[in-house]
Amino acid sequence: MLSGCDDVNLYFSNLPHSSLPNPCDVCLIVKDLTKGIKVDHEPTANHFKELLSEKGIGPDLVSTVMPIRELTVEYSTYETKRALSGKFDVILVHDL
């Protein structure tokens, strides 16, 4: 977990035969900081991008940070969800 945990230890290792392409498009889905019907999701995305950069994880490792609000609003139909899954090589979900 990233938010509120200072004791997080991150370990990276290079796999000699990875099944993922290099570079790899990674999407990180995160929880919303504020709840509501018409709340802007950009502050949440910026908050988690700052947390990732503080931990040394740059845009080369996580290419997109997407709040759950953006996911539910912009990717509500089957076709858009299918397009989202094809857009990224890896989709990670933060503790929701």
Predicted local distance difference test score (pLDDT) of residue 83: 94
Question: Which range marks the domain in which residue 45 is found?
Answer: 26-93
Residue 76 belongs to some domain of the structure: yes
Residue 21 belongs to some domain of the structure: no
Residue 4 belongs to some domain of the structure: no
Predicted local distance difference test score (pLDDT) of residue 55: 87
Q: What string of pLDDT tens digits covers the 96 residues of the chain?
A: 445 555 556 677 777 877 777 778 899 999 998 887 788 888 999 999 999 999 888 888 899 999 999 999 999 999 999 999 999 988 999 876
Task: Using alpha carbons, list the distances in angstroms from residue 12 to 27, 43, 45, 70.
Answer: 18, 28, 23, 29
Residue 5 belongs to some domain of the structure: no
CA–CA dist 79, 14 (Å, integer) = 35
Residue 16 belongs to some domain of the structure: no
Count of the separate structural domains present in the chain: 1
The answer to pTM > 0.85 is no
Predicted local distance difference test score (pLDDT) of residue 1: 43
